[in-house]
Structure 1
Amino acid sequence: MEIHQLEYFLAVSTCMSFSTASMEINVSQSTLSHQIRKLEDELGVKLFIREPRSVRLSPAGEEFLEHTRKILAAIKTSQEAMQQYTNYIKGHLSIGAIPTIAYLGFNRIITKFIQSYPGISVEIHEANTDDLLQWMYEKRVNVSFITSPFVDQYGVTFHPLVEDTVVALVPASHRLANSDRAIDIHDLYREKFLMIKSSSGFRSRLIEACNDAGFQPDIILESSHVEILRGFVEEQMGVALMGLRIAQSISSPLTSIVHLKQNIKRQNGLAVPRVKSIPLATRLFLDFIINGSAGA
C-alpha cells in the first residue's frame, strides 16, 4: 500500500467518478483505475461498486475511507512537524556589507534567509569593499556584499547580483540639473567631486573615465555614506558620482540626477572566500542566493 494509492482512493471517493477524479489529480483514468485495483487486490476487498454510469463505495470502502482520511491527515501532520527541523538548522553567519546595502535590495535577501533559517543567527558588519575583502581573509566575516570592480588580492569568488549605471548627483540649482539628455563626463571637468569610498577598484574606474575625457577629477571629499555626500551636494559643495539605484533612493528636492553618456557600470554582489572548508551557514546562504530562493 502506497501513499499515492490512498490519495487516489480519496479522490474517487470524493468525486464518485473515475473520470472526474482523474482530472482533479491530473493522472490518466487508466492509471487511476489500475492503482485502485492494485489497492483492492492488496486489501482483498472491493472498495467500490462499479455501475455502468456511476460508482459508489462498498461497505468495506466506506470503512476504509475513514481510515484513509486519518492516515493522510497523520502523514500531513508528520511532514509539517518534520519541516521545522529541516529549516531549524543552528549556526551563525557573519556578513560584511557595503554601506549602500539597503538601497540595493540586499536587506530583503537577508530578511528572507533569516525567515527560512530561524536557527541561524546573523550579524552584519559594515565597511567599504577593500576592508571587507581583508576581513574575509582574516575570517572576521564569512561572506560580503561588495562593489565591483575591486582588487582581488586575497582570492574570492564574486557572484554579481545587481548591476547599476553610474550617474552624477548635482545640486538642484546646477547648470546641468534637470537635463533631458545624457551629458559627457567631460562637462564636469570644472567641478569639485564628492566620491563614494567604496572600493579602490571602482574609484580607479571613475578616475579613469575622467582621465579618458581629458581631465583629472578634483576630489575634495570622500565618504562611505551616501547620505553624507547628498548633504554636501545639497550645500553645493560639488557633484557626486554614484549608481543610479542609490541616487534615486537618496535624491531630494535640493538635488538632481544627471545621466552620463559614458556607460560606466557598477556591479554589486556577494563575495565568498575561495577556501576548501566553508561553514554550513555560509553554504546555505550562498545556495539560498544562487538558486534563486532569495528572489532578489
Structure 2
Amino acid sequence: MDLQRLKYFVEVARQKHFSRAADVCRVSQPSLSQQIKKLEDELGGRVFERNREKVTLTPLGQDFLRHAQAILAEVQSAEEFVQGVQEDHARTIRIGAIPTIAPYLLPELLAAVQTRVPSARFELLESYSETLTEALMTGRIEFALLSPPTAVDAECDHLVLVRDELLLTLPEGHPLAAAPDLTADRLADERMILLENSHCLAAQAGAFCRELGLEEHLEIRSSQIDTLLGLVESGFGLTFTPAIATKAHRHRRVVHRSLGDPPCSREIRLVWLKRKFLTRSQHSVIEAARHLADGS
C-alpha cells in the first residue's frame, strides 16, 4: 500500500476538506482526489462521504483511519530512530498538554528535562484531549500530559504524575466558606459554574456534581479557570478548582474546600505511544516526570 496515499487520506480526514488537504500536502486537488480514489479501489469501498460543506468518514473510513495513522506513526518512528542515532542530543522534544494542566505542570517538567539535557529544544502543543491524542497517533508529538480516560489509553504507556483533587471554590465571606461540616446537601441552592464541555475537566467536575445532586445548577460555562474564579469572586456562583491550579491563582479572593468522601480527583498522566521509538533525549522526559512524581 502506497505511503503517500495514506498521508493524503489521513490529511483529508483531519481537514474534512479536499482543497485544504491538498494545500497542506502541496499537491493539486485533482491529484489528491485521484489517489483517494485508488485507495478506495484497493479497499473495495468508499472512505469519504462528500458534500458541499464538508467531507466525513464512512464507517469503512473510520475503521481504516486507525490503521493508516498507526502505519504512518511506525514509519515516522523508524525515521526518527535513524535521526536519533545520528544526533540524539540535538533533537527537539515535542510535548502537548491540555489547558487545565499546561500552565501548572508543564514549566516544571520542561525545566527538569532541560537540567538533564541542556541542549534539548521543545515544541509545545496546548490543546484539548482529542487534538492531543490525534497528535500522538500521527507522530506530531511524542508526549502528552492528559487526564484519563482518553481514546488512546490502550495504545499508550503512561506515568502518573499526581492525583489532582477538585476543590469546591467559594467567594471569601460566603456563609459556607468556613462551615465546619460542609456537605453536598448544603449546596442544593447554590449556582455551580464550570468550564465549557470541550475541557475534560468539565466532564469530570460535571460527573462529580451529578453524584452530589447538583446537575440542575450548571448555569454558566467558561473556557478559562481564571475566568471562573473571577466569577466566583464576584458572587456569580461556586465552582470546582483543580488543586494544582490554586497556587497560580492566589490573587483571587476565594476559598477552596475539600468536598466528598472520598474527595473527587483526577489522575494526571504523562502519556506516550507503546510502539514509539524514544531517543535518549526523549527518555529524559520520562525520567524527569518520574522524579517529579516521586517528589509530589
TM-score scaled to structure 2, two decimals?
Answer: 0.59
Larger Rg: 1
- In 2, Cα distance between the equivalents of 1:93 and 1:171? 41
In the other structure, the counterpart of 2:169 is 169
Higher share of residues assigned helix? 2
- Written as runs of structure 1 = structure 2, the 5 A alignment for 1:94-243 is 94-101=94-101, 104-147=104-147, 149-153=148-152, 155-181=155-181, 183-196=182-195, 202-243=201-242
- In 1, Cα distance between the equivalents of 2:199 and 2:99? 15
Q: In structure 2, list runs of 5 or more residues that go unmatched.
A: 1-86
Report the residue type matching 2:112 in the other structure: K
How far 1:93 moved relative to its partner? Answer: 0.7
**Higher RCO structure (Cα 8 Å, ≥6 apart):** 2
TM-aligned CA distance change 1:160 to 1:217, over 3 Å: farther
In the other structure, the counterpart of 2:253 is 254
TM-aligned CA distance change 1:138 to 1:175, over 3 Å: farther
Aligned with 1:173: secondary structure?
coil
Aligned with 2:213: secondary structure?
coil
TM-aligned CA distance change 1:214 to 1:220, over 3 Å: closer
Tell me how large the CA RMSD over aligned residues is. Answer: 3.1
How far 1:90 moved relative to its partner? Answer: 0.9
Q: In structure 1, list runs of 5 or more residues that go unmatched.
A: 1-86
TM-aligned CA distance change 1:274 to 1:127, over 3 Å: same
Aligned residues: 208
**Cα pair 2:158 2:269 within 8 Å, conserved:** yes
**Cα pair 1:109 1:294 within 8 Å, conserved:** no
The C-alpha deviation readout for 1:188-243, integer Å capped at 9, x for no partner, is 23333222458765543433333233342432343443112111112222211122
- In 1, Cα distance between the equivalents of 2:190 and 2:220? 12
TM-aligned CA distance change 1:209 to 1:101, over 3 Å: closer
The C-alpha deviation readout for 1:233-284, integer Å capped at 9, x for no partner, is 1222221112223234414462121221341122222111222433553233
**Cα pair 2:129 2:150 within 8 Å, conserved:** no
Identity %: 18
How far 1:146 moved relative to its partner? Answer: 1.8
**Cα pair 2:169 2:240 within 8 Å, conserved:** yes
TM-aligned CA distance change 1:280 to 1:253, over 3 Å: closer
The C-alpha deviation readout for 1:128-184, integer Å capped at 9, x for no partner, is 33432232223222211122x323346322311112222111122322123344x22
**Cα pair 1:185 1:210 within 8 Å, conserved:** no
How far 1:98 moved relative to its partner? Answer: 2.6
- In 2, Cα distance between the equivalents of 1:127 and 1:273? 18
